[in-house]
Amino acid sequence: MTAPALHNQHRTQVAFYFEATPGAVPADASAWATAEGAGDAFRMFVEEGDPSYIVGDSAVMNADMQTRVFGVQAPHKGLSTADGGTLRSRLWGTGDSYTDDTQVLGGTHSPLGSLLKHALGGGQLGHHTFVTAVTGLVLTLDSATNAAVGQIICIEDADDPGRLFPVQIKALAGSDATIDRALPFNIAINDKVYGTEMAYPEQAALTNPLDADFSTLSILYTKGPHVWMAGGAHLELTEMAFERGQQPKLTWGILAARGYPQGAGAPTVPAFAEPIAGQSADVKAIGRDTKCFIQTRGVTTWVSETLFSAKFVPGVPVKPQETVTEADDGMPGRVGYMTEPADTILELVVSLTDGQQTRWTAGTELVVSYYQVAPVGHGWVVHIAKAHLMEAPKLMLEGTNRWVIKVRATDDDEATAEAMQAKFIASLY
């Protein structure tokens, strides 16, 4: 006898909808289901999501309205916000597969990639192709369609299929792409080149509601028969945590112009049909095949540093723009969102043997790539093209070889492409 599959009828599910008009939430459960079917909404696997911050319209108490000591208070309506929520999700790959001469994911961002692009502003989808010639760090691509300076591409060694190594395109002349560093194998003709799904900080998309990439979200929580919704929302990617033996975790802060509590504007449970993105993703744990390339900027020799731990703080803040008027019902008291200069920091605990720490001096310009050597569809990389060491390494504990180094990303003022100018790039492949 086959045991029935376990299913939690009261599991929490989180759905996202990119609003065509800021603050315009789907009208009801049917509209949510229709949006999902049209690809305008999706559910995504989150490990933690708390809807308690959705408080709806606030009541501003006014003691002058009490005519007697025991009179009934008559509060007046205030401008509502629903800021302060947090979501935590995993970091996984695109789920894509390689097909020669095609754009990644057919030109449509994945759910996770869409949220990364939303939170950071900028994004690109690369192209799958292969190598036709190699001269040092210059790769001649069979197709340069959708290729651009600053893009992250992944090379697969034909002698070791299923392991992808990310590099960055530093220059592009026709189909000749100059990559930023060597790899631990000799790149050869016919080696596959995988495009990636990239996200990176882009100021205009985070500060200008007229920018084509500016976006606000509707967020729907369901738990059994219970439903909560927020509208006119924006996510802030606050941290990427990489712990040994654990799957990488993303922490998202939530700002929302309005909350729709259960029974006060939130719809009933939609009849969703599509699967939950990331629920069955083969997310690789940190450890095996997780690598970190740290090299003095301009040095292209491949190296893999030994790390005890890593924590990445994107430092791309999202700030609400408040108003003193209620121009519309969808975003009362809020006109949009702003950002401030990114302050991106990568904190690493590294293994440095005697004398080795002397090459780590404060101010040294570095290139850093922290990535997963994974099959297509399951990999990721956090890439900093230009950074500096904030201070000399600090010994964590006397008698050990554990040293803390902090790297701060800086603008690459020598580059012209947006992805190169960005302080960091997060790519899925």
Q: What is the pLDDT of residues 229-285, one digit of tens each?
A: 999 999 999 999 999 888 899 999 999 999 998 878 899 999 999 889 988 767 788
Lowest mean pLDDT among 200-204, 227-231, 261-265, 300-304: 261-265
CA distance 404 to 395: 6
In a domain, 271, yes or no: yes
Residue numbers of the domain that contains 101: 12-57+81-428
Mean pLDDT of 188-200: 97
In a domain, 94, yes or no: yes
Mean pLDDT of 34-46: 94
Sequence-distant (≥ 6) Cβ neighbours of residue 127 within 8 angstroms = 101, 102, 103, 104, 143, 145, 146, 147, 195
| CA distances from residue 182 to 53, 295, 407 in whole angstroms, order as listed | 48, 11, 22
- At residue 48, the pLDDT reads 85
- At residue 126, the pLDDT reads 97
Average pLDDT over the chain, rounded to whole?
88
In terms of C-beta density within 10 A (0-12 exposed, 13-18 middle, 19 or more buried), how is residue 149 classed? middle
- At residue 414, the pLDDT reads 67
* Residue-wise pLDDT tens digits, 280-291: 767 788 988 999
**Residue 319 CB: number of other CB atoms within 10 A?**
15
Classify 30 as helix, strand or coil.
helix
Decide: 257 and 330 in contact? Cβ < 8 Å: yes
Structurally, how many domains does the chain consist of?
1
In a domain, 63, yes or no: no
In a domain, 132, yes or no: yes
In a domain, 122, yes or no: yes
Sequence-distant (≥ 6) Cβ neighbours of residue 155 within 8 angstroms = 131, 139, 164, 165, 167, 183, 187, 191, 192, 193, 194
Classify 115 as helix, strand or coil.
helix
**Residue 413 CB: number of other CB atoms within 10 A?**
9
Sequence-distant (≥ 6) Cβ neighbours of residue 428 within 8 angstroms = 92, 93, 94, 110, 112, 113, 116, 196, 197, 379, 380
Q: Say which amino acid occupies 278.
A: G
Decide: 160 and 111 in contact? Cβ < 8 Å: no
pTM of the model: 0.91
In a domain, 2, yes or no: no
| pLDDT exceeds 90 at position 174 | yes
- At residue 356, the pLDDT reads 62
| pLDDT exceeds 80 at position 93 | yes
* Dihedral-angle region of residue 375 (phi above 0 means left; psi in -120 to 50 means alpha; beta otherwise): beta
In a domain, 100, yes or no: yes
In a domain, 75, yes or no: no
CA distance 39 to 32: 11
